[in-house]
Structure 1
Amino acid sequence: MNNTVQIPSRDVLKAQAKRLRSDLADKGQTISHAQALETIAHQWGARDWNTLSARTSNIHPGWSPGQRVAGRYLGHAFAGEVKAARQQANGFWALTLRFDEAVDVVTSPLFSSFRRQVNTTLNADGHSPQKTSDGQPHMVLHLA
């Protein structure tokens, strides 16, 4: 297995197996859940589901819609909820976050611009690759 590709969490892999099983059923092909898990394991280069599952044990569980989160956005603390989540290549996540309270995204004392919802990209540690001019990540996120 290629170690440069981050394996998703067990929950993400199980969801892939569920979608595979559903897609095949829509085409008239039925497979068991165990067969779907084995197929997903092979697609990720593992010999079987147990091998793949063992490789995921130390990986961040990922982000999912409805999940409560907290963190800092452009230096401002917030709490909120994941509205949408999609895993991307190389362990990155594309998220849409809905803040409980609007966040002022402007640092100027002359005006304000409040946001209640933002789209962001995060690495597996919950930090955005984009940084402010002082070197801080635009977004730092963790489970609430």
Structure 2
Amino acid sequence: MSYSLDTPSAQTLKSEAKSLRQDRARAGQMLTHSAALEEVARAHGFRDWNTARAALPERVAVPFQVGMRVKGFYLEQPFTGLVLGVQLAHNMQNYTLTIHFDEPVNVTPNFMFAALRQRVVTTVDIHGVSPALRGNGQPQMRVLRA
């Protein structure tokens, strides 16, 4: 299963249930915590709280955010750019990033002709290093905060 950054965590749903209980209490309607959890789970499209709890991660820690400025090396060429998209991979260890480079990067090994890329989608680990390697053993992508 893949989680995007708009996927709520179980902790987020618990917080929503607590807020719902408080709102209902102010309106004079008593609601048990378990009933609030069930209602919040259904509002997020789950059958019930147990289904939601089983499907959602406990917490999602994200080293990269949409709109973050980054720098690094793509195919061993330096770049600076902007993160346009982030998605947590199914293994909960890697992230798929969409990065728009400030200046196009030439990705050809020889300079007889140019193959420029300005936007790439890549998979990196929590440290910003791609698990995919080039023929020389170097990672395809290294991403750092700018």
TM range (shorter): 0.5 to 0.7
Residue 44 (structure 1) shift: 8.4
| Change in CA separation of 1:132 and 1:45 when aligned onto 2, cut-off 3 Å | closer
Q: Which residue of 1 aligns with 2:134?
A: 132
CA contact (8 A) 2:72 2:141 kept: yes
Query: Aligned pairs, how many?
Result: 112
What TM-score does the superposition give when structure 2 sets the normalisation length? 0.62
Aligned twin of 1:16: 8
Corresponding residue SS for 1:89: coil
Equivalent residues of 2:8, 2:56 under 8 A apart: no
1:116 aligns with 2:118: yes
Shift of 1:89: 2.4
Compared CA separation, residues 17 and 132, structure 1 to 2 (3 A)? closer
What is the identity, as a one-letter code, of the residue corresponding to 1:117? R
CA separation of 1:33/1:113 partners in 2, compared to 1, >3 Å: closer, same or farther? farther
Q: Quote the offset at 1:32 in angstroms.
A: 3.2
Structure 1 counterpart of 2:101, from 99, 102, 120: 99
Give unmatched runs, 5+ long, in structure 1: 1-7, 22-29, 47-51
Give RMSD over aligned pairs.
Answer: 3.4
Deviation (angstroms), 1:62: 2.2
Amino acid at match of 1:16: P
Output one character per residue of 1:49-100: Cα deviation in whole Å (capped at 9) or x when no partner. xxx67xx8xx6x4222111111000001111011111001231101110000
- Which ranges of 4 or more aligned residues in structure 1 deviate by more than 3 Å? 32-36, 42-46
Rounded Cα–Cα distance in structure 2 between residues aligned with 1:138 and 1:122: 9
Cα contact 1:101–1:116 (8 A) shared by 2: yes
Q: Is the 8 A contact 1:128 1:138 kept in 2?
A: yes
**TM-score (normalizing by structure 1):** 0.63
Secondary structure of the residue aligned to 1:136 is coil
Identity of aligned residues (%): 27
